[in-house]
Amino acid sequence: MSFNLFGPTTKKDIRVGYISPERGYVKNISILEANEYAFLNPGTMFILETRDSTRYLTINEVNNLTPQDILPEKTAADSTCDGLTGLTPDTAQSGGTPIVSITGCSGVGAQGNAVIGRDGSILDVNVVRGGFGYKCPPHVTIFDPNRRGNGVVAISSIGISTVPTVEYYTDEEDFEEYDFSAENGPEALPGYGSRFDVNGNVLGDWDPTLFASFANDPIRAVSTVGDPMQPAVAGMVIGAAENVPVIMAGGTQMAAVLAIVNSLNKDVLNNVAIGTTRWIVNDKTSNIRSLISKIINVPVLAADINFSKSNFDGLKAYETGVVKEGVGCGGAIIAAVLKSNGKITKSLLLNEIKKNYKQLLN
């Protein structure tokens, strides 16, 4: 890619802007980019700012712009520029009205004239053009080109237009014609570019997923966004499941561990199940069954413990979703029932939980 800094102005050098409902005044887009935006947002009015004026154009008018349209009327090149004045007393300006500058807040186009009192003070600013796209009251500066008056403090406010604007597209020139030719601006680069070695040789296309994806590197994923507990438990699951059935006691945390095990050694998952409680399974904010199914299809077991008839408010809180056990309750209950061949029943567990909870309170 090459360019000539001192070469002639081309259509690729023309820059316009537009008012975005989300971003405010968006400046310095090429004609090609203007066509791409207008294609998605028909009816957009574009803004061309030059040293001499601000113009509001349709996309058809933007496509008809030439390099001559962005050049000032008076230039030093053709000796029509007046040059600098006011640097010495004999060239100081005389007369002239104060200049009102309205800037900021992502808007453009507001213009106003200062109203001067008999004593030389600024009484008001008569807004002659409201402009477009202001997100907040813009900053107003008033200065005297003769450098005699000063001290004006002006505060702006954003008005609310109550007059509806209706656009009619009836004439042939009203219908937008989009021009995506390369001469209207630089085309977007395809892909992400190329990869190079230390000698500058091309190695192939740049693929950011090689460095930004954790799909094939679970250890790096855990070290970046995980919990130190997760790889430790994953290692224990892999080691144990090679020899005996394993119940991973927990909820969504165990889903994360399951994903690590699945990446490191999925063969052992034939000997693995998730053990939790009905509170977790019925939790609408997590949907653990859907989460597990997206990783790998292993059994999800749930202990059917119910505290709705408990005499303790603390235990009843489990039924409202305010409390979640977080200590492997479901897995421990499932393991106890299996180990005892059903001798440990639901009612027995509830009585023991009630007795231990009462002791804790006392």
What span, in angstroms and rounded, lies between the C-alpha atoms of 12 and 30? 7
Residue 356 structure tokens: 């231990």
Considering the chain, tell me which residue range(s) the CATH 3.40.50.10210 domain(s) occupy: 218-361
Would you state the structure tokens that stand for residue 262, as one six-digit string? Answer: 């699945």
232-286 pLDDT, tens digit each: 999 999 999 999 999 999 888 899 999 999 999 999 999 999 999 998 888 888 8
Residue that wins the pLDDT comparison between 95 and 197? 197
Confidence of residue 145 (pLDDT cuts 50, 70, 90): confident
Provide the percentage of residues in the chain whose pLDDT is more than 70. 85
Residue 169: predicted pLDDT: 59
Q: What is the spatial distance between Cα 28 and Cα 31, in angstroms, rounded to a whole number?
A: 10
- Of the chain, the percentage scoring pLDDT greater than 90 comes to 31
Identify any residues that bridge with 113 across adjacent strands, giving them in sequence order. 126
pLDDT for 156 beyond 80: yes
State the pLDDT at residue 341. Answer: 92
Instruction: Give the C-alpha separation, 360 to 362, whole Å.
Output: 5
Judged by DSSP in three states, 338 sits in helix
Mean pLDDT of the chain: 83
Residue recorded with tokens 């509001």: 56
CB atoms within 10 A of CB 330: 27
What residue spans of the chain are helical by DSSP H?
31-40, 59-63, 209-212, 218-225, 229-241, 252-265, 278-281, 288-295, 313-316, 329-339, 346-361
CA 172 to chain centre: 39
d(CA 362, CA 351): 17
Rg (CA), the chain: 36
pLDDT band at residue 86, thresholds of 50, 70 and 90?
low
The helix (run of H) or strand (run of E) holding residue 132 is strand 122-132
Report the 10 Å Cβ neighbour count for 132: 17
CATH class for the region spanning 218-361:
alpha beta
Q: Which of 180, 261, 161 is nearest to 219 (CA)?
A: 261
